[in-house]
Amino acid sequence: MEYNILTLLHNAETATATLPTREQIAEKYKWNLKDIYESDEQWEIDFQWTEERLKRYQEFNGKLSESAEKLLGCLKLDEEIGIKLERLSLYAMLAKDSDMRESKYHSMDDRIKNLYAKALSASSFIKPEILSIDEKILDKWIKENDSLKTYQHYFDDIFRSKPHTLDSDKESILALSSEIAQVPYNTFSIFTNADMKFPFVKDEEGKEIQMSHGRYYAAMYSKDREFRQRAFKAYLTPYKEYVNSLNSLFNGNLRSNIFYAKVRKYNSAREAALSKNNIPLSVYDNLVESVNKNFAPMYRWANLKKELLRVENLHPYDIYVTLFDQKYERKYPYDDAVEIVLNSLEIMGDDYISSLKKAFNERWIDVYETVGKRSGAYSSSTTYGVHPYVMLNWTDLLNDVFTLAHEMGHNMHSYYTGLTQPFHYANYSIFLAEVASTFNESLLLEYLIKNSNSREEKLHLLERYLNNITSTFYRQVMFAEFEKIVYEKTEQGEALTPEQLCELYASLFQKYWGPSMIVDLEESFTWARVPHFYYNFYVFQYATGMAASETLAHKVKSEGKPAIEKYIEFLKAGSSDYPINVLKKAGVDMNSSEPVLSVTKKMNSILDELENLL
């Protein structure tokens, strides 16, 4: 028997029921991998072809400076192999994630990763040899050869990194040391996820439970404030107890990134991290400075939370709990959610909507949880010549609707990029990655608020919007400011003690939440548990992504067609230009305060609407 939408209500009542197998799911709710390969046998044919093709790199090794034809021939070979590798990888990944019990696809996934490594090794001569070509000669080749002209930005980006590229022997040493550089994060991850033991606490019903990462997050949404407090203190206790070890790992990670920055002749670790995508330091600084001038909406939200919770002061364990009754919450079957998402994005015009419908109707999406399927959700990145895919695990909850809108934002970004750009530009940087996804979420939330059926539903949606801004924007900027300060102090020769880190984190938390918040001692140890602090200036991009998407959403709603056309061009741009320039062409200047003000103005307008309903 096939499961249809009515029988797949993965909610609280059916959570203990046996999961369906993939065979029991209607075909239209499963992704169609035949768009990539007709069969596993076809995959094997391409795998063997690609493995054999790697030998051809030797024809070009040491010869790229001989002529434009040699250079172009090598680039075309590299693209040819790259296209096959991406296609092979996508098929293996999706087949594996469809049923994690199937060892065959794990093996295929491992094989393609190994083939990728071989390809990287075989092609490692390309960029160093391009850098060895006299730039005047390269410019002459580009002018005289139309086929090379499309690579202009590609070459520019390679030469941009020339002052920070070492000779081959030193590059080889740095490459060998990269595994050592991962020790602080790997040890942190193993220690906090596997070895760290959390204490027991009494839950809302008085039962003894051992705290864990998952139980902590669930507890922060509990209506029982005393339980939230117990869970909060219990969860952070091990970080307090092992703070010296965690401090050593934290400082080891800082010093590792500072070492690499110095060796590559950057002025700071932050400059080195941002240089990968050619992001000016001024963008980072402007984000932090602009937010520091616009705390008023956060303080307003904190004060309102305090009033509605009827507490004398807010504490960190009061941040996530809903302020309103949850009984109203409705279910969202997948087919209904598709219509909601389409309606919310109708403003984007016929081309965008027809592309979305193509994804929904042509089985780009794997919808339901099945036995052995990977958990979570994602959209595959751009795979040249193949449409992107989306994985979901639908449970009929509101969160699923937002996940659908979010992942379809990524999906359309990858689809338009792959449709428009040549292979060497058919991707986009992490700095741009969350713009299209949060743009869709913003339009969806506004649509749901506008079409809410009751005051209670509207209050929940408004609260969700405010919590999104709090966690995705303000909190990430707070993390970014913390990261900026600790690197600067370390680069100035300071040895950061646990006490200093706790004091710094607590002071920033107080600054971002304002006078309504009491910062408990336990919260000051949060720096020791955040894995993103090991990602080397990564978190600020969550905030810039949201700021850019709010700016673009506002422009689309207020300016109409011209802004929509610019947004579609943004989706098509890929990596054909630096991300800052791609955003600027779409109408967002990340060096200005306008994107930050878009978020703060939105927060104030949502607060106005919420207060009017109370």
Residue 139: HSE in the Cβ half-sphere, 13 Å Cα cutoff: 5
Model confidence pLDDT, tens digit, residues 238-288: 999 999 999 999 999 999 999 999 999 999 999 999 999 999 999 999 999
Write down the mean pLDDT value for the chain.
93
How far is residue 119's CA from residue 121's CA, in Å, rounded to a whole number?
Answer: 5
Highest mean pLDDT among 39-43, 125-129, 190-194, 397-401: 39-43
Is the pLDDT at 12 greater than 60? The verdict is: no
Lowest model confidence (mean pLDDT) among 166-180, 262-276, 453-467: 166-180
Model confidence pLDDT, tens digit, residues 15-63: 335 789 999 999 999 999 999 999 999 999 999 999 999 999 999 999 9
- Assign 3-class secondary structure to 27-57: HHHCCCHHHCCCCHHHHHHHHHHHHHHHHHH
pLDDT value for 579: 97
How far is residue 336's CA from residue 341's CA, in Å, rounded to a whole number?
Answer: 9
Exposed, middle or buried by CB within 10 Å (0-12, 13-18, 19+), for 434? Answer: buried
How far is residue 489's CA from residue 475's CA, in Å, rounded to a whole number?
Answer: 21
State the DSSP code for 378: E
The mean per-residue pLDDT over the stretch 100-110 comes to 92
Model confidence pLDDT, tens digit, residues 504-550: 999 999 999 999 999 999 999 999 999 999 999 999 999 999 999 99
Is the pLDDT at 455 greater than 60? The verdict is: yes
Is the pLDDT at 223 greater than 80? The verdict is: yes
Model confidence pLDDT, tens digit, residues 71-85: 999 999 999 999 999
Exposed, middle or buried by CB within 10 Å (0-12, 13-18, 19+), for 215? Answer: middle
pLDDT value for 327: 63
% of the chain exceeding 70 in pLDDT: 96
How far is residue 247's CA from residue 534's CA, in Å, rounded to a whole number?
Answer: 12
State the DSSP code for 204: T
How far is residue 118's CA from residue 51's CA, in Å, rounded to a whole number?
Answer: 9
Is the pLDDT at 214 greater than 90? The verdict is: no
483-489 CB contacts, 8 Å cutoff, 24+ apart: 483/533, 483/537, 483/539, 483/540, 484/270, 484/284, 484/288, 486/254, 487/254, 487/257, 487/258, 487/268, 487/269, 487/270, 488/268
pLDDT value for 13: 37
Tokens in use for 64?
A: 């790229």
Which residues are marked as active site?
407
pLDDT value for 554: 94
The mean per-residue pLDDT over the stretch 160-175 comes to 84
Question: Number of helices and strands (H, E) in the chain?
Answer: 26, 5
Is the pLDDT at 11 greater than 90? The verdict is: no
The mean per-residue pLDDT over the stretch 281-297 comes to 97
How far is residue 467's CA from residue 411's CA, in Å, rounded to a whole number?
Answer: 25
The mean per-residue pLDDT over the stretch 210-217 comes to 91
Model confidence pLDDT, tens digit, residues 543-593: 999 999 999 999 999 999 999 999 999 999 999 999 999 999 999 999 999
pLDDT value for 166: 84
